[in-house]
């Protein structure tokens, strides 16, 4: 292990990075709360301010991926598609196989200037997660309980409200509904067989309702659907904890652009189109398994300095008084102050670990399969 890699693996440094993210996030959430007074007066101004505030938080995670771990992201697509990145409202369909797939999506959003305005159809449980859920709430993220009878009105209202969003947004959909695991895949393929649908090898059966509803509600706003298939070289299975520890990964993303005019408007035909799309995604994954790469030209969009500068700003603002306080505590020699400070550090480390655990595959708390056979696709 090299010196730099060793330094990155030190728990104290990881704790300081986590401290900056948590405290800056709380400050940003408070400012977002204050901006709520603008909503009835000037909704678009409220949105522009919150887009930039959320960028200041999310870009810290992107910084960990790009600058701290040095993970490289290569995209496989044509130049005509790249030329449209960041210049249109789109729906992103991404496979859900890894703990950091959202982070790889965010790094592409950042490099093309749409990170702050990125959207997602999120599960309702995430609304209760500090920082992440709170920031999403102020960004008008649509939360759903995955029970269509309960979600219908909320989803329609939330999506329709986004039609006049002033910033170009990338709306992420995990059409599989949950992260891929062998057990979930087995259950999903049983459902596929019972419904006479083609089986998939590398994906779960897509749940079409979210896609067809999103496309219908954002009609006239969204101009294309980007199908994104993500994989990692050398069959690595990256984790967020690995990123925090400074481990480097090599991510490859195949991106195909589909103009909305080419997607059927009829709900059943649109659902059939999505199933065929996932068959193509499966074929792409099969190609990657055999060749170690996606077909087509490879493009490496350069990382930008903004994420690093943003983190350095928050680190300077928050760590300077913290380190001064820590020095004062130990210089004082007071056992009470030292114990209190150590307890604070322990609580902070637990809080950071809990945030990381939100993305872990074995702790997602999914109930996938319990009612799967009764759901309509």
pTM, 2 dp = 0.89
Compare 368 and 329 and report the one with higher pLDDT.
329
Average pLDDT, the chain: 89
Helix axis angle, 306-332 to 43-63, nearest 10°:
70
CA gap 76, 295 in Å, rounded: 7
CA gap 363, 127 in Å, rounded: 17
Q: Kindly list the strands in the beta sheet with 90-94, ordered across the sheet, starting from the edge strand earlier in the chain.
A: 142-144, 119-123, 170-173, 90-94, 224-232, 250-259, 72-76, 298-299
- Give the tens place of pLDDT for each residue, 119-158: 998 888 888 888 899 999 999 999 988 777 778 888 899 9
Identify each DSSP E strand in 176-291 by its residue range: 224-232, 250-259
pLDDT for the residue numbered 353: 66
Closest CA to 255 of 71, 118, 69, 73: 73
- Give the tens place of pLDDT for each residue, 5-55: 778 878 888 888 988 999 999 999 999 999 999 999 999 999 999 999 999
336 three-state secondary structure: helix
- Cα 108–112–114 angle (5° rounding)? 90
1: confidence class by pLDDT, cuts 50, 70, 90: low
Task: Give backbone dihedrals phi and psi of 299, rounded to 5 degrees, phi first.
Answer: -130, 130
357: confidence class by pLDDT, cuts 50, 70, 90: low
- Give the tens place of pLDDT for each residue, 94-119: 999 999 999 999 999 999 999 999 99
- Give the tens place of pLDDT for each residue, 255-284: 999 999 999 999 999 999 999 999 999 999
Task: Give backbone dihedrals phi and psi of 144, rounded to 5 degrees, phi first.
Answer: -135, 155
Above 90 in pLDDT, residue 71?
yes
What is the set of domains in the chain, with CATH numbers?
Answer: 3-306 (3.40.1130), 309-356 (no CATH)
Distance set, CA 277 to CA 119, 247, 300 (Å): 21, 33, 25
């Amino acid at each position: 292990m090299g010196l730099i890699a060793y330094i990155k693996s030190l728990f104290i440094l990881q704790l300081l990075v986590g401290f900056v993210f948590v405290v800056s996030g709380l400050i940003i959430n408070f400012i977002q709360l204050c901006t709520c007074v603008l909503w009835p007066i000037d909704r678009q101004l409220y949105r522009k301010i919150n887009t930039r505030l959320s960028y200041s938080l999310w870009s810290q995670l992107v910084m960990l991926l790009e600058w701290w771990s040095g993970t490289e992201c290569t995209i496989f697509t044509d130049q005509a598609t790249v030329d449209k990145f960041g210049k249109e409202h789109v729906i992103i369909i991404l496979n859900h196989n890894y703990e950091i797939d959202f982070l790889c999506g965010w790094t592409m959003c950042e490099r093309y200037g749409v990170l702050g305005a990125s959207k997602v159809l999120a599960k309702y449980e995430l609304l209760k997660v500090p920082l992440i859920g709170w920031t999403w709430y102020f960004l008008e993220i649509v939360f759903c309980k995955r029970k269509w009878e309960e979600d219908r009105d909320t989803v329609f209202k939330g999506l329709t409200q986004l039609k006049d969003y002033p910033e170009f947004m990338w709306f992420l959909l995990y059409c599989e509904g949950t992260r891929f695991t062998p057990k979930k895949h087995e259950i999903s393929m049983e459902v596929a067989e019972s419904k006479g649908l083609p089986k998939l090898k590398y994906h779960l059966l897509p749940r079409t309702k979210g896609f067809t509803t999103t496309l219908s509600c954002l009609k006239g706003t969204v101009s294309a659907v980007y199908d994104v298939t993500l994989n990692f070289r050398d069959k690595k299975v990256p984790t967020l904890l690995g990123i925090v520890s400074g481990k480097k990964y090599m991510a490859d993303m195949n991106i195909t652009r589909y103009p909305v005019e080419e997607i059927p408007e009829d709900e059943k035909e649109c659902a059939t189109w999505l199933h065929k799309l996932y068959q193509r995604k499966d074929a792409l994954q099969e190609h990657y398994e055999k060749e170690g790469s996606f077909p087509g030209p490879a493009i490496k969009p350069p990382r930008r300095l903004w994420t690093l500068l943003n983190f350095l700003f928050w680190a300077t603002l928050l760590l300077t008084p913290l380190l001064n306080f820590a020095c004062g505590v130990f210089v004082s020699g007071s056992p009470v102050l030292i114990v209190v400070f150590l307890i604070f550090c322990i609580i902070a480390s637990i809080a950071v670990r809990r945030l990381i655990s939100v993305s872990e595959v074995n702790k997602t708390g999914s109930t996938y399969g319990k009612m799967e056979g009764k759901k309509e696709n």
